Structure 1
Amino acid sequence: MLTAVVDRTRGDGADRVRQVFEDVERRLARHRVRVERPVSVEIVRLPIMGATTSKPSGHTLYVSAGAPDSDMLDGLLAHEMGHMLLTESGHPSHAPRVIQRIWRSVRLPDRGREAFGQAYNHVQDIYADDLAFLADLQDRAYGFFANWIRGNAASNPGDRWKRAGLSASSGFALGNLARHGLLDEDDDLWIVARDADRKAGISTVDRYASFYAVLPKDPGADPFVSSMEELVRLLETSAGPRGKSRTF
């Protein structure tokens, strides 16, 4: 239930955000999916498109100042609503106790923990998009993730953990498209991502793509933690021998 939309930037985007939010709600309702807790939206200046904080009393969705004018606003709102739904349902990927259990057990250097944090965010995004795609976003998802992969390929690979993180990020985008039947085996995006890996001296993007594509939709806590062990090992492989450290 949407309770308020406030534009902290003093712009005029509140009405459009409300209209699109309610439209996405209707699309999800056709699949008997609905956010139960109250939702307030704040339009603020952010370096990213949006983010959500959740409490038992409700959710606060922060939308960037440019988002109301974007043709991907419905995708952003559906994605963030996916995170809300997963939080409300206690899905392991969004359950605080499970997340704490995972983080307490990760033994990586600071840069490795940063890379794992980003890769884990993508795990949460996979599950959020499983719900967001119910809002009929397939027609624009390919273009969005194609730009994502090409942007990663154009980035400076940096140190070994940055290389691992970029490979994981592109693997997430590929895996997400494949998960929803939007990526052929001979798609040029595979070439773009593999070339970026090759230039960085690694070859793990296919393994990341496979990992994200087949994440079980409704795992128990223990199997989910086990799958995160696999993700840590994959990051260590990407980072190279000096990145190896005891995990879990």
Structure 2
Amino acid sequence: MDIRVQGPGPTSPFLGARDRFETEHDLSLPVYVQLRDDPDERTWAGHYEDRHVLNISRQAASSAMARELALHEFAHMARYEQEHPSHTQSTDEVLFLALAGKSVERRKLAHCHQIANHMKDIYADDITLSVDSGEKLLAYLESSLAAAVADRPDPISRPAFRRLSPTADPEITAVNAAFALALAERHDLVDDDHRLYDLAHVAAMDAPGVDFEGFNRRFRELARDPNSSDYRQVLVGATREYVAGGGRAAD
């Protein structure tokens, strides 16, 4: 597996991730690591005919999660080379199939893209967690979800119209919580009393129109090796459920 770091910056996280990844997997194409100056630049993988590109900020590359971030992106690259349906299916095609003839808010379309990305991440992390313990990933999921619900008011005294997570969109936060918990459950990373369950419960309460349990089940039970048709059907179903369900008033 060929790793080429572009520009000044740390190299050990990427080499360490490569060594861990190669215990069970490999990539045919070289990986160019593009270190970016913008500290807010998210980590993402690009795929080309002759290479993969791992884009990451220098700040992230120097963080405690650097090796895990690289390992996760290597897993996306592997899924792309495998032509796995989650990484070849066009999200725009799914949106057309699921929402033809419907008028949908722009924010909800963005959320539908997020749902598709969650499914990609599930399949990438099936690889990641086959070579890594998942301890740091679980801590990351917990802290990210905690941040989304951290500013809630006192649940006893709060007015009924106040959200539990006022700084985050409650509907996609609930879906994000369903994803985080599903990933942890899929790989047996949590016990029944783990704090992630409490955080997910808060997020679900904040969005009564979102079928939290349904999304949690959809993510957790994604088939390990789906064909293209089955995967498209699952993603279309999730998209329709989110658009139809999100925003409904509680019974």
Please classify the TM superposition score into its range, dividing by the shorter chain length: 0.7 to 0.9
1:85 and 2:78 aligned: yes
Q: Match of 2:28, SS?
A: coil
Task: Give the 3-state SS of the residue equivalent to 2:34 in structure 1.
Answer: strand
- 1:198-232 deviations in Å (ceiling 9; x for gaps): 13444633322221111111100111011112211
Deviations 1:141-193 (A, max 9, x none): 221111122122234366xxx33211111111111111110122333322222
Shift of 1:29: 2.0
Residue type of the alignment partner of 1:232: T
CA distance in 2, matches of 1:117, 1:136: 27
Report the equivalent of 1:43.
35
Q: Residue 71 of structure 1 corresponds to which residue in structure 2?
A: 64
State the match for 2:160 in structure 1.
none
TM-score, structure 2 length as denominator?
Answer: 0.83
The one-letter code of the counterpart of 2:146 is R
Contact 1:148/1:173, CA 8 A, preserved across alignment: no
Q: Distance in 2 between matches of 1:240 and 1:82?
A: 34
CA-atom RMSD in angstroms: 2.2
Distance across 2 between alignment mates of 1:222 and 1:20: 37
Structure 1 or 2: larger helix share?
1
Q: CA deviation at 1:237?
A: 4.9
Q: Deviations over 1:67-126 (max 9, x none)?
A: 222111111001000111111110001115x44531332324322211101111111111
How is 1:1-248 mapped onto 2 (pairs within 5 angstroms)?
1-7=1-7, 12-13=8-9, 16-17=10-11, 19-31=12-24, 33-44=25-36, 45-96=38-89, 98-107=90-99, 108-154=104-150, 155-156=165-166, 162-202=169-209, 204-241=211-248
Letter paired with 2:142? A
**Residue identity in the other structure for 2:88:** A
Identity of aligned residues (%): 23
- Kindly tell me: are residues 140 and 40 of structure 1, through their superposed partners in 2, closer, same or farther at Cα, counting changes over 3 Å? same
Distance in 1 between the 2:166 and 2:27 partners?
39
Q: Please list the CA deviations of residues 23-81 of structure 1 after superposition, one character each: whole Å capped at 9, or x if unmatched.
A: 222222221x1111111111102524411110121111111121222111111001000
Equivalent pair of 2:210/2:247 in contact (CA under 8 Å): no
Q: What count of residue pairs does the alignment treat as equivalent?
A: 230
Q: What SS class does the counterpart of residue 106 from structure 1 fall into?
A: helix
Q: 2:162 maps to which residue?
A: none
Distance (Å, rounded) in 1 between the aligned partners of 2:202 and 2:248: 22
SS state at 2:193 partner? coil
Rounded Cα–Cα distance in structure 2 between residues aligned with 1:168 and 1:65: 30
Alpha-carbon distance in 2 for matches of 1:2, 1:177: 31
